Amino acid sequence: MPQIRVALAQTNPVVGDLNGNLDSCFEFVSRAANQGAQLVLFGEMVVTGYPIEDLAHRESFVRKAQDATYAFAERLEKAGLGEIAVVLGHPALAGQSNGWAIAHNCASVLRHGTVVGSYAKHHLPNYGVFDEHRNFVAGDQLLTFEHVGFKFSTVICEDIWQSGGPVAQLGDAGTDIALVLNGSPFEVDKDDRRLGLVKTIAENHGCAVAYCNLVGGQDDLVFDGDSIVVDAAGSVIARGRQFAEDLVLIDFDSNGGANLAAQASVSKADDLWQIWNALTLGLRDYVQKNGFKSVILGLSGGIDSAVCAAIAKDALGSDRVFGVSMPSKFSSEHSRTDADETAARLGINLRTESIESYVADFEAKLELSGLSAENLQARMRGVILMALSNKEGHLVLTTGNKTELAVGYSTIYGDSVGGFAPIKDVEKTLVWELAKWRNTFASQNGEVEPIPTNSIVKPPSAELRPDQVDQDTLPPYDELDSILDAYIERRLGRDEIIALGFDSAVVDRVIGLVSIAEWKRRQGAIGPKITPMAYGRDRRMPITNRFR
């Protein structure tokens, strides 16, 4: 019975780094060849990284990506790898004028030193974080090719999430194995939805399916890998690692069967493990892909900054994380000792810069009190972090969580300063859960618990005035997060939320706060998306807006 060994190469490209990305592809093809692979499948747009956003409109960019794809085919041939069919994603010109490109989102098959076939993505997602109707034009033809006695067809990502189009032709085309190139960003629970879709394709069209996803952080998106292979009966044969590069090898037979040839297998992990790893990978890749050596953040002794510091340590190692304790006259004793303890537990760098004298000086000269004096304290901390960043080259992390961002419970140009916001898409109640999970994970592995217990259990406070706690100003976080979930994630209206049993005055207040914080969110740092409705590209709202 004829057999073919197929490799899924789950790589981590950098947007715009054509040479670096193709060097990585070359290494994966070589490794796969050494293990007997006859076909190597990569992710969507692996040549350019993904998403390329409006770079797709730049003719010089698309042309270079196309040329690089052809040059890569030649390089494989010269290296004696030309017998292998390599299937990878890249943009291609569909038209152009005066520097402006009209591009396809393509999958091409490379063999014998050239491009032997190309497929243009049919379904262009234009919802959530995606703007593909803006950036690409659609194709309408399925690509089917024969290789080592098997019939392969290629489709791309969204093509399997929508009905109709080339996917509907998989069966009629006699496809043995469908190759799906993906750039599918992580969201909690999305792994299960992908698996269901892949199984359905196999069952509906009678073909095995190899689903290869990208991995790595790109701005606010985290591609989680987790590539999937199912046989023609829809049974799962293999899954790639989550949050790491991987090479999965599968032997397919001509009866639609498939067997795992080699894979660094992992057992499926729980949601908190996945979220923690998404946040860690998102931060690590932002730092490394943008050429930073280290990060700096304020350590208040509170839960948000402790969790951000722990993520940073897991992402980068303790030497590359710099904490700054910036007490004021309103800082409690525990805020200092908890900050010290966080740094000690994580083994990260820590220094102390009091803001008291700066605050006193501005307050006196500008005659500030109340809110303007509270905001001033946060801004003094922002000035210090940015000064140390400018002086020493660290990326500044801002430690605000999703709940704060929603209701504007932060000082713009104060605690919001920074280039990256590690827990931007993590609501406050989930921050606590993650902290507890990370401590449990540490103790299960015989390691020091990274988050001080006191940072988890004490009532949260901004400490901008005497004896302040967050709940002076905000509803209890359980209630607040529930209302926000109804309003933002589920898009329920005011009346519908009240009908769920919430107090109407609280609901009105929360909706009002969300609305007037829009201008602050618009100026906020990016951070990794982990939910279906992350602030940023998922939710695009007018600032000027009188609807409540």
Active site residues: 44, 121, 157
With binding defined as CB under 8 A, does residue 193 bind a copy of itself?
A: no
Surface-to-core class of residue 321, CB atoms within 10 Å of its CB (0-12 exposed, 13-18 middle, 19+ buried): buried
Site string for a copy of itself, 211-230 (x = CB under 8 A): ------xxx-----------
**What is d(CA 478, CA 474) in angstroms, rounded to the nearest whole number?**
11
Listed ranges 36-44, 168-176, 476-484, 485-493: which one lies at the site for a copy of itself (CB under 8 A):
485-493
283 binds a copy of itself per the rule CB under 8 A? no
Binding of a copy of itself at residue 16 (CB under 8 A)?
yes
CA pair distance 531, 128, nearest whole angstrom: 11
Min. distance of Cβ 9 from a copy of itself in angstroms?
Answer: 20
Strand 177-182 and strand 221-224: pairing?
Answer: unpaired
Applying CB under 8 A, which part among 98-106, 111-119, 235-243, 464-472 lies near a copy of itself?
A: 98-106
**Does 102 participate in binding a copy of itself (rule CB under 8 A)?**
no
Rounded to 5 degrees, φ, ψ at 34 are -60, -25
Q: Which stretch binds a copy of itself (CB under 8 A): 154-162, 203-211, 444-452, 524-532?
A: 524-532
Site for a copy of itself in 369-398 (CB under 8 A): 371-372, 375-376, 379-380, 382-384, 386-388, 390-391
365 lines the binding site for a copy of itself (CB under 8 A): yes
| SS3 (DSSP) at 185 | strand
- Whole-angstrom CA distances from 103 to 118, 135, 179, 537 are 13, 7, 21, 22
**Residues 297, 510, 376: CA angle, nearest 5 degrees:** 40
Smallest gap from residue 256 Cβ to a copy of itself (A):
36
Are 31 and 5 a contacting pair, CB within 8 Å? no
Scan residues 318-357 and list those touching a copy of itself (CB under 8 A): 353, 357
User: Rule CB under 8 A: is residue 464 a binding residue for a copy of itself?
Assistant: no
Looking at 60-68, 247-255, 399-407, 432-440, which segment touches a copy of itself (CB under 8 A)? 60-68
Assigned token pair, 491:
């898009």
For residue 352, the one-letter residue type is T
Phi/psi for 31 (5° steps) reads -60, -45
Sole binder of a copy of itself in the list 131, 253, 433, 479 (CB under 8 A): 131
Residue 495 touches a copy of itself, criterion: CB under 8 A: yes
The residue among 376 and 435 lying less far from a copy of itself, judged by its C-beta, is 376
> Does 126 engage in binding with a copy of itself (CB under 8 A)?
yes
Structure tokens at 451: 């988050």
- For tokens 């996917």, what's the residue? 167
Calculate Rg over the CA atoms of the chain. Answer: 25
Structure tokens at 172: 């009629």
Among candidate residues 206, 110, 195, 112, the one with its CA nearest the CA of residue 160: 195
The reply on whether position 267 binds a copy of itself by CB under 8 A is: no
- Nearest distance, CB of residue 236 and a copy of itself, angstroms: 30
| Stretch binding a copy of itself (CB under 8 A), from 22-30, 125-133, 329-337, 454-462 | 125-133
Report CA 181 to chain centroid distance, whole Å.
Answer: 18
Specify the residue, 276 or 292, whose C-beta has the smaller distance to a copy of itself: 292
